[in-house]
A = this chain, B = another copy of it.
Amino acid sequence: MKNILILIFSISLSFTYAQENLNFRPQKEIVSPQINDNGTVTFRMLAPLAKKVEVQGDFLSTKGAGNMTMGADSVWTFTSAVLPSELYSYSFIVDGLKVRDPNNVYLIRDVSSVVNVFLIGKGKADYYKVNDVPHGTVSKRWYESPGLKMTRRLTVYTPPGYEQTKTDYPVLYLLHGVGGDEEAWMQLGRASQILDNLIAEKKAVPMIVVMTNGHTSNSAAPGESSKGFYKPVMMTPDVFDGAMEQNFKDVISFTEKNYRTKKDKSGRAIAGLSMGGFHSLWISANYPNTFDYVGLFSPAVLPPANASSSIYQDLDGKLKQQKENAYKLYWIAIGKTDFLYKNVADYRKKLDTMGFKYLYKESLGGHTWSNWRDYLTEFAPMLFKK
């Protein structure tokens, strides 16, 4: 009797949703993507009227798209090759129109593009999973930037145990690229999962991670500020203009006032990808006694847009000072096919010439989140150790 009533509740609810919210309609029960035991992935899409359905994504070893095959049930399918462990993204193309997989609710936004994702474990992407380990807290907070005269949003990861202890924790400031914002490292970068898992394995020490918004003309990610729901763009007028570097002290000051942090150089790291690597380079050079750990992930070593800013004056002198002050780690990583490879090679030559020590990691691939997740997984364990 009780179960019948709940069944009626369930049916009524489905019916009600169908009536009142036309967007809510139970789909025919299709599983897609299906991660197979042998490491392949099967994609499925119901499209009875389509003439051609393809699947496209970074899991394909070749460029282009894979042709899906229609079965008698009007469900198109495609099974991939055996895939190495990774967080992959994909879309379907139905008669030339790119669409998302209606059976996969897991989506990540990259600038103005939203794509489906899936994860292949049993390898490096096990670090990107939510595993049965203690989890840190992820907070979206707003801080005052007196320098920018703005209230701005950031993401703070505090490690498992933070709330139960009285300890002061070291802080990694983790910066995004030109297409990103304070959500990017959490969504595309799986930063909280990587940190939870590295800390659980005792590969990394418990640390706070502060993820800022590097576009100083925005107070928050698209949709999260009073600008409302606008179409995100990659380039904003603030790129490489010095304002991020100039006002980064507001972020540090906020963090050290609001969290139990180690308040010296040995307890601070800064790292970023692409534009965030540029920011990390200049912030660490301009505050040459602030960070013991610097990570440049595929850094955009490019001339600044606003070269007259004092921030961008006398790099050689600033690096010399940073070298004299000493630091524990200056880590540069880039993929062999990254379009910034030569810029980074030139920068390394400069550092070599002046005897500025760094560790260098050259990976396969290019300017991708796949590499940046790798770099974070490799960089975080090197931080804050005696």
Contact = CB atoms under 8 A, between A and B. Distances in A.
Contacts of A274: 13
A365 B100 CA distance: 31
Given A130-B226, A303-B5, A99 B99 contact: yes
B135 A138 contact: no
Contacts of A98: 25, 102
A225 B23 contact: no
A232 B49 contact: no
A309 to B, nearest CB: 11
Given A130-B228, A258-B163, A20 B302 contact: no
A223 B114 contact: no
Interface stretch (A105-113, A206-214, A283-291): A105-113
Interface stretch (A57-65, A77-85, A347-355): A57-65
Please classify the interface of chain A as helix (H, G, I), strand (E, B), loop, or mixed, using the class held by over half of its residues.
loop
Contact of A222 (B65, B105, B163): B105
A368 interface: yes
Interface residues of A, number: 107
A239 B6 contact: yes
Contacts of A282: none
Contacts of A231: 31, 103-105
A326 interface: no
A223 B6 contact: no
Nearest to A90: B23
A142 B137 contact: yes
Contacts of A48: 96
A372 interface: no
Nearest to A9: B302
A153 B196 CA distance: 14
Nearest to A115: B23
Interface in A66-90: 89-90
Nearest to A140: B138
Given A112-B27, A366-B20, A2 B304 contact: yes
A118 interface: yes
Given A10-B235, A20-B367, A239-B6, A109 B105 contact: yes
Given A31-B231, A97-B49, A141-B137, A223 B23 contact: no
Interface of A: 1-3, 5-6, 9-10, 12-17, 19-27, 31, 47-50, 56-58, 60, 63, 65, 89-91, 94-100, 102-107, 109-115, 117-119, 129-132, 134-135, 137-142, 151, 153, 163, 178-179, 220, 222-226, 228-229, 231-232, 234-235, 239-240, 258, 274, 300, 302-307, 338-340, 365-369
A-B residue pairs, 3 tightest by C-beta? A139-B139, A23-B115, A12-B339
20 contacts: A2-B305, A13-B367, A16-B338, A20-B58, A20-B367, A21-B58, A21-B368, A23-B110, A24-B110, A94-B97, A97-B99, A99-B99, A100-B100, A105-B231, A118-B229, A129-B226, A129-B228, A134-B151, A137-B142, A139-B140
